[in-house]
Amino acid sequence: MHVYVNGTICPAHEASVSVLDHGFLYGIGLFETMRVYDRKLFLWDDHFARLSSGLLALQIQPIWSKAELADAILQTIDANGLRDAYVRLSVTAGPEGVGLVTGGYERPSLFVFAKPVAPLAVPPQPKRLQTLALARQTAEGHQRFKSHNYLNNALARQELGARTDTEGLFLTHDGFLAEGIVSNLFWVKNGHLFTPSLDTGILDGVTRRHVLRLAEQLAIPTTEGRYRLEELLAADEVFTTNSVQEIVPVAEVDGQLVASTYGKYTRELHLAYRQSVATGM
């Protein structure tokens, strides 16, 4: 694998991060995980907007334009001989030394990783959801950032173990549905689409936003709110979303079978999603 490090493409084993980088020392950094289809960055406007908002909140001065970041991604996938890829773009606070800073960060570092992805099955392979004992921690600030502070997710993955057919489901400390370890959550009941609201402390997922837009286009009524596990267990359809796996139907929740796996609404949204990939919109 070749990676992009601050303007240079190099083999991954030759890449390095300064031990004084606050991304390394304190987890001060942001990342975006995205899909590239046929050398086209999917939902790039949304990813860039979320990244820019996060950098502003963390007072990390962006030194790359939107076009320069897109070019860095394309350079990386080209260096790895890919046209379809999983891409991770990371921005760290940069080498500021030991000790927290009182001002902003003006020397951030940029890293881009790309790796191949297996073709997605049609219909998608369903997964299981398993409620985690570990609660979703509160957001790092006024919102949840897609940050390098990933300990809550890492501990959840350790709790779940190596079950590739299962996604861990976070609840909030007060027992409301939150999100998966690497996904956002949706379900359908009586033709109505539901998803936990951002005030539960979940990530404002780019794919989540896109699915909400698709639901509006398809005239599927949608509500965001605070819901208990019992409401999910009574759902007609359940699915999760993320940028790499797109829309993933759920076959069972905590061992209880979902009434309809890849049902009418999940299928409609999935087909609309695939169409948006084909058109780049």
Rounded to two decimals, the pTM is: 0.94
Domain assignment present for 120: no
Residues forming a β-bridge with 30? 91, 147
Q: Which of 164, 74, 73, 88 is nearest to 127 (CA)?
A: 164
Query: 119: pLDDT confidence band, cut at 50, 70 and 90?
Result: confident
The structural domain count of the chain equals 2
Q: Which of 169, 77, 79, 167 is nearest to 117 (CA)?
A: 77
Summarised one tens digit per residue, pLDDT across range 176-219 is 999 999 999 999 999 999 999 999 999 999 999 999 999 999 99
CATH number, domain with residue 50: 3.30.470.10
CATH number, domain with residue 180: 3.20.10.10
Summarised one tens digit per residue, pLDDT across range 260-272 is 999 999 999 999 9
The tokens for 221 are 């009524």
Last residue of a domain, one of 57, 88, 115: 115
Cα–Cα distance between 206 and 188 in angstroms, integer?
20
CB atoms within 10 A of CB 146: 20
Summarised one tens digit per residue, pLDDT across range 125-176 is 999 999 999 999 876 777 888 999 899 999 999 999 999 999 999 999 999 9
Alpha helices in 137-255 (DSSP H): 151-160, 206-217, 229-233
The CA-to-CA distance between both ends of the chain, in Å, stands at 29
Domain that holds residue 198: 127-279
Q: Are residues 135 and 106 in the same domain?
A: no
